[in-house]
Copies of this chain bind each other. A is one copy, B any other.
């Protein structure tokens, strides 16, 4: 391996780690598998990261950012609030279909963080970021549709994240686009009814 600073190595290892997790799961993401994917030697891993767990922590934090950005740009749809939200779900479903392993990896990272008490805050932070993103999107959607939310937007955003999660997991199990779209429709329906026309 040509010479590389620890600062450059860290993101390279995280990219490699994400590919390994997508392919083989967290349990398959051994330090050896990760450095092999990155084409580095084992020592480089522990030179760049204190431990495997610290590595996974940083990977999780890093990757959530990209996760939300992948769904952007929000679809510009004419129609009422319900249609705008449904279009957002459908865009997410496209993203899911395009790279299922990535979403599966995110779910695994969440569960891994949920497992140990000291890592729980990491899962919370991950989901707070999802919710923030959802909140932003919902605010924008309500503005476009000229309505306002009856409940606090943060609450609506929480519901949106929950529904997205459930739809994701069920699609990963059944790979049933029709069922996923039906759920997306129902979810959009429920969410849009949490708003009043102004």
Contact = CB atoms under 8 A, between A and B. Distances in A.
A148 to B, nearest CB: 17
Given A159-B182, A183-B159, A189-B190, A124 B174 contact: yes
Contacts of A107: 111, 169
A163 interface: yes
B110 A151 contact: no
Question: How many protomers of this protein does the assembly include?
Answer: 2
A64 interface: no
Interface in A50-78: none
A129 B11 CA distance: 42
B124 A173 contact: yes
A34 interface: no
Interface residues of A, number: 41
A127 B165 CA distance: 15
A198 interface: no
Nearest to A157: B179
Interface string A140-163: 000000000001000100110111
Contacts of A189: 189-190, 193
B173 A114 contact: yes
Contacts of A193: 186, 189-190
Contact of A110 (B123, B169, B176, B187): B169
A138 B134 CA distance: 30
A132 to B, nearest CB: 13
Contact of A190 (B167, B170, B190): B190
A14 interface: no
B170 A165 contact: yes
Q: Which 6 A-B pairs have the closest CB atoms?
A: A166-B166, A190-B190, A162-B166, A165-B166, A186-B190, A162-B170
